[in-house]
Amino acid sequence: MCRNIRMLFNFDPPVTDDEIHAAALQFVRKISGFNKPSKANEEAFQQAIDEIAQTSAKLLAALETNAAPRNREEEAARLRARSALRFQS
């Protein structure tokens, strides 16, 4: 799917509304095929982003786990290392 959409559950500190909105934006861009919608589609595009962000926030608030929260910095470092291996020349 879209590599820019990251897992948002079970992090310390918790996910922010901006991160949820960014993921929703990436999702809508992916499924619509538009990076930026035309004026005719702008309202529907924004409404979809808002609805997906709201639903995602509800989902994240409802999820439960016994696992310890992941550290954002450690997770980012792990993903950068994986990316460096993947794209080394």
pLDDT computed for residue 3 by the predictor: 60
Identify the pLDDT of residue 2: 53
Total Cβ atoms within 10 A of residue 27: 19
40 three-class SS: helix
Check whether 1 has a pLDDT greater than 60.
Answer: no
Q: What is the pLDDT of residues 66-78, one digit of tens each?
A: 988 888 888 888 8
Share of the chain above pLDDT 90, in %: 56
For the full predicted model, state whether its pTM sits above 0.85. Answer: no
Q: Would you say 35 and 6 are in contact if contact means Cβ atoms under 8 Å apart?
A: no
Q: How many CB atoms lie within 10 A of CB 61?
A: 9
Three-state DSSP class for residue 68: coil
Average per-residue pLDDT for the chain: 89
